[in-house]
Chains A and B, each alone.
Chain A
Amino acid sequence: MGPVLSAVELTKRFGAVTAVDDLSFEVEAGSVTGFLGPNGAGKTTTLRMLLGLAEPTHGRALVFGRRFAELERPAARVGAVLEASDLHPGRTGRDHLRVLARAARVPLGRVGEVLTLVELGDVADRRVAGYSLGMRQRLGLAAALLGDPELLILDEPGNGLDPEGVRWLRDFLREFADQGRTVFVSSHHLAEVAQTVDRLVIINRGRLVVEAPLRELVDATASLEDVFLELTAEPST
């Protein structure tokens, strides 16, 4: 079986700005892979290309060996959350999920299941306008889980979660990967990442810095923060 995700010479330019620059990496099944980089490193742009939302200028972004748009029933294979704020404020949480369940060809009964899974059952019938950032994160995750996917792609899922929520998310992702499924998660929370992930893909200025198992990078003498700051440091002139 090939890699779950692969970026092959992936490049994205916006006018004169090269957001992603000849980036190649792979994500294997059954792992939690952290996707790290400073602000503006090109993480979200890379995720958007993997999900077919943005067209690469050059190179390929493949999911299960195909372009995202070529997947049959993508919701059953890939769940993804890019922005916790991608919700209509006037719609209830439950209705947001029902709308997506319809399009994903998922029975509406699944909506109640994923609401319970992310512990939003009590507020599901309130309009999203009244949700905290943490609740929006959970709702986004619930949507990603509708199709019971093999792969989760999450962009900064810990933003806005309280400590209890962070622990819940960590346990959830661990359990998800322990079932042989795959998580690809971007994050800024290095201490959190160090507790959650098996592998790391670190980029800076759109280019790959390192792709390695966490244990090869981090040991008793160097924390993930040390390694990250060293690898992504601006060259001193």
Chain B
Amino acid sequence: MAMSAAALEMQDVPGPLLSVRNVGKRYGARIGCSDVSFDLWPGEVLGVVGESGSGKSTLLSCLSGQLRPDEGEVIFDTRDQGPRDTLLMSEPERRRLGRTDWAFVHQNPRDGLRLGVSAGGNVGERLMANGARHYGRIRATAQDWLTRVEIDPSRVDDRPRQFSGGMQQRLQIARNLVSGPRLAFMDEPTGGLDVSVQARLLDLLRGLVRDIGLSVVLVTHDLAVVRLLADRLMVMKDGRVIESGLTDQVLDDPQHAYTQLLVSSVLQV
């Protein structure tokens, strides 16, 4: 189980949770992403921002095991075998990682849910995939998580088709977090939602990240989202990271020309 942010600070953490070295992906002559390196520590939220075509989604796919990068290493500090390059793992190992220690929140919750399965079944799937065989306990855990993401637990048997977009997204989050992952990849988690719904979701994510000490790699084009959620920021353009650092520092004191353009382009409300 991951620990709360405060508890993590107390502990003598030996190394980063995720070490990314020179990850690159090419599509023929076109660069998807190139030469991306960073370390991510327990409890840290890293925002990756950029406009369409910046390579941020490609990068996320390469890190999370959905795309195979052409070069580089993605080293994750596994629980039982220490730091291991996930790109060299066998498919079963990677899949196991994907349903235990890792989470992936899709922009469109329909891509991350089984629409024909009840909310309880969706949340309980990881537990069952990891060997849980007691219906009563699985259901109770599912209801507990529904409460934590602010969905009425009495809706445990309803199908996601009957949920609003915001509820579906919260259900997707519950479905991912039930296995106690230490690392979550999020692709525009608030994209496509109404503004008021976004606010609620961001608040929920902040609380969960703090309570369970989750590390997050968060891809978004929305600078307001990163300001609220991310500790650190990487700005991408044309497949490359052009600036990175403390979130409020990159946004308030941007050094690179493109970052300055990006920040100044945001409409103030």
Are A and B part of the same complex?
no
